[in-house]
Amino acid sequence: MSDDTASNGFAERLGARPEPDGEGAARMAFEVGEEHLNPAGTLHGGVLATLVDTAMGQAVRTTTDDGEVPATSQLTVTYLRPGTTGPVQVTARLRTRGEHLTVCEADVEQDGKALVHAVATFALLHS
């Protein structure tokens, strides 16, 4: 799974636009609409996974040099409670930055309540 969701248009089609939030961090505000809900009427898990992957990828990119391309090699998403329509906030931060692998964490909140906690490992590819 590549972390290029922000640059290939996929995340933008959902309405996701991560912003760097200092070195090793990123944040994103996202408006959940009816089109983001699953048949049960709650925020689709795939949308949440895309949001955390995109935000963590942006956090990693704040620390990369020219020629380093981060790619998601492992993503664990823990769903804590269902989301609904309305705004959500995503925050991401680096936990460990290595020469070849970087570990990140991200959280998604809605109305002050945690919806998701995620951890990802990114491989740093050298072009």
Tell me which residue range forms the domain holding 64. 4-126
Residue 26 predicted with pLDDT over 80 = yes
We report the CATH number of the domain holding residue 75 as 3.10.129.10
- Res. 41: pLDDT tops 50: yes
pTM of the shown model: 0.89
Residue 118, class by beta-carbon neighbours within 10 Å (0-12 exposed, 13-18 middle, 19+ buried)? Answer: buried
In the chain, what is the straight-line distance between the N-terminal and C-terminal CA atoms, in Å?
Answer: 17
Banded model confidence at residue 3, pLDDT cuts 50, 70, 90: very low
Does residue 2 carry a pLDDT above 60? no
Spatial contact of 16 and 50, defined as CB atoms under 8 Å apart: yes
